[in-house]
Chains A and B, each alone.
Chain A
């Protein structure tokens, strides 16, 4: 519970930050957030490890990235791989390029966060990106597709290996989990999100 508590502690130093990135409203774009939710549902972590749903907040995630020694990221990746391929990328291989020609602040993706952190000199000692090549993005209000969904469990196992290597003490969570022990609001939890999808809207997909 402690890793998702309500302390006003953004500036404290964390040992480990596990960050899920993406937009749950756009099908496989939600992979990163769903993966960190699943990790949170399955395991307990020490106080100095924080699990976070980073959404698509871009540069606004920088304060957190600058405040951790170890950073594990779940995200959708475009490495030109077959759909639903899982890939772990480590250290310097994690892309951190950005440019000044972006049109909107919102284009400031997570790569900008990493390059900005590097510029400030406060960069995590260890960095691992666990990513999945998405199969479908273009389905507003949709959820993960089958192949990507099947990679959640392997991605979480891979994350546990990485975190163990970093010395993070991971314990299985008891089966009865308090409903407030969530990373995000309950309405966006994958079960409620999928079961509450309005009927008859799937037809919109692919009309572009």
Chain B
């Protein structure tokens, strides 16, 4: 091809120079992006590939469904609790198990804490460095930084002396010859726009966020018993509550619950006084960098999360609603039904798998994962050292999930657009407030920064929601209900012989579903469709491109050998591909290589 228009409305042109961004990684589990740029270094074709093979049925088939959560918790390093929760939901659905109200509240608190922590950590530790030049912070005037801080927030850590101390600490760190977490970046790139003082303020909050992280993880330890891998239970939560003075050993007592309450207050304060003001301050310098919208202005989807009513996984109950928007029509929001075989389907025409009918879409309950690794005729390199992929053929270990045949974006921005279009007053107030403060139209949301902003707003929303959920739970406990688990159907002899279930919900990075088939008390099939599979999806049989590929198109690169712009947009999705690459090596290996051919 040279130039083609995809059915979902994007123009692709692969004539120009090819740029490959590939994290060096000895084993699978990573994302690789290839783009073609034109003579003006504008991205005209984008190829997203996951080089991770995964099929849950090959680790779960034949196992006890009550154990599945423990396995699914290990398929990803950061979404652990989310996978565990949805595994429990899927099995409970299949076995028709209702969980008690307290278990629902505790699960919501754990998930809301996860959202708050994950969004915060993502922003300060991964994404902010795409906008904030750490080295420039060394040149900042601490007094001017203090003035800036005091002009945007009432956060008390704002004195000139405080910022001077942080700057000196940073200087010593840099002068020691190692940049630590800040090494190996594109510092000094003209794509960085913040003044030195804003950079110092953001780096200071990077450090404060590390301290705050110590607090919020306590919620998981208190309710999950174990950190960093909390315990979960089909039928409820594996913790007991005893609010009497003579509480049993290991039971959740009033002292612990008071601690949770304090952490919730601290979370709200930190997010609203540090994260949100930082987000607005940074965004105000990048208002003209309005790239990266991709599918967000047309097709977005959310499954819904945080059930207000135990065992009710519909919009009557979801605090963050379920829905799909097509063709940018915010006036019509469709319900997403994970059971309908016509709605969610996965295609493998461009994925390294084979189906009996190659171009057919399979609903997850009928899903198969049969690997078939082959490079297309126009690929460069070898199977073990791919230099350039051939996107006309199979080119990814990710399947291509579609909703009624449409490529969809999922994640915080998708959730916010669905909630906004559904008329959710809280979300509307947040979004309209931010747009007013930044003097931007609603269309500004359809961008990389819109995605980043939605994540920040949702972090605040999640922190505030913890308060309501906690208060409701305490009222329930004080009324005498301390049940946390329903063990009526724990024993396999109480189960139907052949049954299917689905658990849907939202991970911080987007819609997540687990589909199970239980036969003769054992797992017969297990499929998970994860958010990054939606967003990083390869093309489908019709040629529709996925959210990452769409979002990169049209973006100008200041210097193709420094793909900061690609990282910005990909980071804004909070990508999540199983993280097996922590193997220690003696010299720091570069994490992303860039090849231009």
Binding site for B on A (CB under 8 A): 5-11, 21-26, 29, 52-64, 66-67, 75-79, 94-112, 115-116, 118-121, 129, 131, 134, 137-138, 140-141, 184-188, 196-199, 201, 204, 207-208
Contact = CB atoms under 8 A, between A and B. Distances in A.
A25 B180 contact: no
A102 B591 contact: yes
B580 interface: yes
A98 B213 contact: no
Interface string B187-227: 00000000000000000000100110111011001100111
B47 interface: no
Contacts of B210: 62, 116, 119-120
Interface in B518-550: none
Nearest to A56: B77
A67 B74 CA distance: 25
Contacts of B575: 103-105
Interface string B220-262: 0110011111010000000000000000001000001001000
A56 B218 contact: no
Given A10-B217, A97-B183, A198-B57, A105 B583 contact: no
Nearest to A142: B59
Contacts of B583: 29, 75-78, 109, 134, 137
Interface string B1-28: 0000000000000000000010101111
B27 A197 contact: no
B565 to A, nearest CB: 13
Given A104-B576, A137-B580, A208-B28, A119 B59 contact: no
Interface in B38-83: 53-55, 57-64, 67, 70-71, 74-78, 80
B587 A106 contact: no
Nearest to A134: B583
Contact of A188 (B31, B70, B213): B70
A102 B210 CA distance: 18
- A23, A52, A110: most-surrounded residue (chain B CB, <10 A): A23
Contacts of A21: 582
B122 A57 contact: no
Contacts of B178: 97, 115
Given A25-B71, A201-B58, A106 B584 contact: no
Contacts of B53: 140, 204, 207-208
Interface residues of B, number: 88
B121 interface: yes
B28 A63 contact: no
18 contacts: A8-B221, A10-B221, A53-B229, A60-B77, A64-B227, A78-B583, A97-B183, A97-B587, A98-B183, A99-B590, A100-B181, A106-B577, A106-B581, A108-B126, A116-B125, A134-B583, A184-B229, A187-B63
Nearest to A73: B584
Contacts of A24: 74
B150 interface: no
A52 B217 CA distance: 15
Contacts of B122: 105
Contacts of A208: 28, 53, 371, 373, 383
A196 B592 contact: no
Contact of B588 (A95, A186, A204): A95
- B55, B213, B574: most-surrounded residue (chain A CB, <10 A): B213
A29 B77 contact: no
A99 B373 contact: no
Interface string B123-151: 00110010000100000000000000000
Nearest to B575: A104
Nearest to B59: A141
A181 to B, nearest CB: 13
B310 interface: no
B585 A63 contact: no
B579 interface: yes
A141 B229 CA distance: 19
B126 A105 contact: yes
A198 B55 CA distance: 12
Nearest to B594: A101
Given A62-B213, A79-B586, A96 B218 contact: no
B77 A55 contact: yes
Nearest to B183: A99
Given A108-B125, A119-B207, A198 B582 contact: no
A71 to B, nearest CB: 14
Contacts of B591: 98-99, 101-103, 107
Nearest to A4: B226
A53 to B, nearest CB: 6
A25 to B, nearest CB: 5
B562 to A, nearest CB: 10
B576 A105 contact: yes
Contacts of A110: 582, 584
- A53, A76, A99, A109: most-surrounded residue (chain B CB, <10 A): A99
A105 B184 contact: no
B180 A118 contact: yes
A66 to B, nearest CB: 7
B180 A115 contact: yes
B287 interface: no
A5 B121 CA distance: 27
A57 B226 CA distance: 14
- B250, B567, B585: most-surrounded residue (chain A CB, <10 A): B585
A119 B171 CA distance: 11
Nearest to A31: B583
Given A25-B74, A100-B185, A6 B27 contact: no
A183 B53 CA distance: 28
Contacts of B217: 10, 60, 63
Which 6 pairs across A and B sit closest by C-beta, in order of nearness? A99-B184, A97-B588, A106-B579, A187-B67, A100-B185, A109-B582
Contacts of A62: 210, 213
Contacts of A197: 59
Nearest to A131: B584
A102 B122 CA distance: 12
Contacts of B77: 23, 55-58, 60, 106
A79 B585 contact: yes
A119 B210 CA distance: 10
A198 B62 contact: yes
Contacts of B588: 95, 97-99, 111
